[in-house]
Amino acid sequence: MSQSLIIFKPSGNVEYQYNNKIHPFNEFISSLVNETVTTISLNFTTKTINNKRFYCYSKDDVYVSLYFDSITTIDNDQIRQTLSGIHKTYVKLEENEEEHTDKLKKMVDLQFNNLMKLKQQQQPTEEVTRESTPISNVNSGTSTPNKGKQQSSSKKMRKWDNGEMVENVDGGALDYSGAQDGDITSGKLPELKVDNSAFIKDHDLVLVNELNDILNESDDDDEDEDVQSSSKSGGFFSKISSYLGGSIDLNEVSKQFNDQLMSKNIAPGTSKQIIEKIKNKLSGNKKVTMSMYKQALTDELTKILTPNVSTDLLHDIKRNAETNTRPYVISVVGVNGVGKSTNLAKLAYWLLQNNFNVLICACDTFRSGAVEQLKVHVNNLNRLNENSENSKIDLFEKGYGSGDHVVQTAKQAIQYATDHKFDIVLIDTAGRTHSNAKLMAPLKKFGDAANPNKIIMVGEALVGTDSVEQAINFNNAFGNKRSLDFFIISKVDTVGDLVGTMINMVMATKVPILFVGTGQTYTDIKRLSVKQVVEMLMK
């Protein structure tokens, strides 16, 4: 596990660094400035960025921050204690500039290395084994000899004094297996003592003692911080009074709810916008209670997720069949690996259950195996639908190709569906990276040629804050005249109550959610329950 530590000030000066890895701290420092970090306790914050876990202790404009390359199992209190100790060490030694740099490095290294030792597994304690020794037979009063004991060697043993061999002595002089002074017969071994000072150099011992003095002198400061934290939060009775109708600190509560929303996978910028709306809405009130704040936030989240257009897809399809000979065309788009083909198959099964004839068009002509995957889905759906006389499903595909192959395949599929009386054409498209302009550009040409009635983007509940950029880029990819119509959020069953991706995507584009994917079978596609999602976000 790699780790690094720095001490810095708001001016940007790095006062100390461990491991010479400053660059990874840039984004974390930006989070500190933007107040998007999570507060664990007074002066102690944390945030995970790019698979690195950052921690920071700050006081009196001195910041001590460290990160681990992977999520650590070290207790937060232990990390806070170490960072607080390093902070106190820096402040104490800063007064003496001559000794500051060298002594600071030694003391910080000592504390940091002690923290790292917590990651090491303790080695099993070695037990000292002794040969059996003659013991006194209480009943007979005789001594029982040690059976099988080897005869002592006639070879002389060496005697050492101050690192030099003095003389050869009889090996028996070094045999301590016999009982001495009754210690063995009494069941007690002579006490063994180790002089730890023998392993510490004099100047290191002085350094350790000085460090202990610094940390012990600062114990009162910790108590003051605890008192300050208690008074700042208002204490237990203050919290109770807030929930029972007492007035709250609008800024403090807003910060707490902002942290909560971000912990649910809502992007920092999105969360900040929501909280600012709540603050502006409540700021005109003379008295703001916790219940008022929670209700305002619940209403705002509900408003965001509630569609402002019709999501009755079945009604639109039926109306199209009554007025047009052209089938109803739905195109499914999204990033690689989010489950476009799987959710397209779920959507097809839902349409079959509502007695529509469905033609699936294989326009993912880039990914190897994409066409074959759709063949498997269509075969499965045909078996599930074999007893139905009111609906059918088929696959239209022209193999793999590039250039205009996708556009031509889509056009031919729509014409085929028209000729063979299919109600709906579901067009599967290739997954593409939302940040790659070259890959996103063909979507406009495809949209103009296929002219789908609805464009549905499949987004993944697991993606978190990156969902904002994904949604915006796909929404803008079809030009000024077209945009996304609906979202399907996949893998919702894998994230528990961390459903903030839905808020991210809807708020960024104003595009409503049509379905959520809740499993791996064809029936695991559900209509969005706004109330249920909001309840999970407010937990």
The predicted-structure confidence for 36-56, as pLDDT tens digits, reads as follows 777 777 788 888 887 788 889
| Between 521 and 12, the higher pLDDT residue | 521
Q: How far apart are CA 61 and CA 79, in angstroms?
A: 19
Phi first, then psi: what are they for 393, rounded to 5°? -145, 145
- Check residue 216 and give its pLDDT: 63
Q: Is 288 exposed, middle or buried (0-12, 13-18, 19+ CB in 10 A)?
A: buried
Whose tokens are 């306790």? That residue is 41
Q: In sequence order, what are the residues at sequence separation of 6 or more whose Cβ sits closer than 8 angstroms to the Cβ of residue 165? A: 158, 159
- Check residue 60 and give its pLDDT: 83
Note whether 115 and 3 are within 8 A (CB): no
Helices (runs of H) and strands (runs of E) counted in the chain: 18, 18
- Residue 394 is encoded by which pair of tokens? 């088929």
Average pLDDT, integer, range 389-403: 90
3-state secondary structure of 244: coil
pLDDT at position 182 over 80: no
Q: What percent of the chain has pLDDT over 70?
A: 73
Poorest-pLDDT segment among 177-191, 346-360, 397-411:
177-191
- Residue 401 is encoded by which pair of tokens? 């190709």
Average pLDDT, integer, range 184-193: 38
- Check residue 192 and give its pLDDT: 34
The model carries a pTM of 0.57
pLDDT at position 300 over 90: yes
Q: Which amino acid appears at position 71 of this protein?
A: I
- Check residue 132 and give its pLDDT: 38
Q: Secondary structure of 308-377 in the HEC alphabet?
A: CCCCCHHHHHHHHHHHCCCCEEEEEEECCCCCHHHHHHHHHHHHHHCCCCEEEEEECCCCCCHHHHHHHH
Confidence of residue 403 (pLDDT cuts 50, 70, 90): confident
Average pLDDT, integer, range 428-457: 92
| Between 196 and 470, the higher pLDDT residue | 470
How far does the chain reach from its first CA to its final CA, in angstroms? 34
Q: In sequence order, what are the residues at sequence separation of 6 or more whose Cβ sits closer than 8 angstroms to the Cβ of residue 475? A: 457, 483, 484, 508, 509, 511
Average pLDDT, integer, range 499-516: 96
- Check residue 98 and give its pLDDT: 57
Under CATH, which architecture does the 3-116 domain have?
Answer: 2-Layer Sandwich (3.30)
Q: How far apart are CA 300 and CA 72, in angstroms?
A: 36
Q: What percent of the chain has pLDDT over 90?
A: 44
Where do you find CATH 3.40.50.300 in the chain?
A: 313-538
pLDDT at position 502 over 90: yes
Q: Secondary structure of 419-458 in the HEC alphabet?
A: HCCCCEEEEEECCCCCCCHHHHCHHHHHHHHHCCCEEEEE
Poorest-pLDDT segment among 22-26, 259-263, 434-438:
22-26
Eight-state DSSP code of residue 165? E
Q: How far apart are CA 460 and CA 15, in angstroms?
A: 42
Note whether 431 and 457 are within 8 A (CB): no
- Check residue 228 and give its pLDDT: 43
- Check residue 190 and give its pLDDT: 40
The CATH fold of domain 313-538: Rossmann fold (3.40.50)
